[in-house]
Structure 1
Amino acid sequence: MHRFQVASDVMRDGLGVELIDSDGNVLAEIFRCDADNTLKFFSFTEELPFPLVEKLVLIARKNLGNFEDGSQLPVPILIDG
């Protein structure tokens, strides 16, 4: 069973949503860095089921909010076809 949690990181100046396995290991993270207004994905394992990555992205978009200075998160890039 996997779970998701929102975690603040003072050292990296931001907020992240983590994907955690049943043993408590962080498998992946989407991190909102308020120092440089970036949104980054980190994977800490070689293989992740795509539906879990999709869910992580959706949860991050819903829960991370705006950057600390009020700027909005980057708009998703949609590719036709």
Structure 2
Amino acid sequence: MASDVIRDGLGVELIDGADLVVAAVFRCDADHTVSFSQFVESVPLHAIEMLIARARDRLDPFEDGKPLSYGERDA
């Protein structure tokens, strides 16, 4: 878990054995969006699936109480 005051949100990071962030899911409370970022070329699918599942659990709801699915309304 990582908070980001500048981007107004909270994220869940996937960290490798060398303590480098290889992927992250970020919840932006300002505009009710959730985004996935990958910082290395290759990440195993099962690791991405685990990251997304953990993010759904840990990042829900937005700071104002709206569920993460609220941000998907315009998708």
Return the TM-score normalized by structure 1.
0.82
1:68: how far off?
1.1
Q: Quote the residue 1:64 is aligned against.
A: 59
Compare CA radii of gyration and give the structure with the larger one. 1
Structure 2: state its 5+ residue gaps.
Answer: 71-75
Which structure 1 residue ranges, 4+ long, deviate > 6 Å from structure 2?
none
CA contact (8 A) 1:39 1:74 kept: no
| Number of equivalent positions | 71
Q: Identify the structure with the greater helix proportion.
A: 2
Structure 1: state its 5+ residue gaps.
Answer: 1-5, 76-81
What does 1:1-81 correspond to in 2, within 5 Å?
6-74=1-69
Return the TM-score normalized by structure 2.
0.89
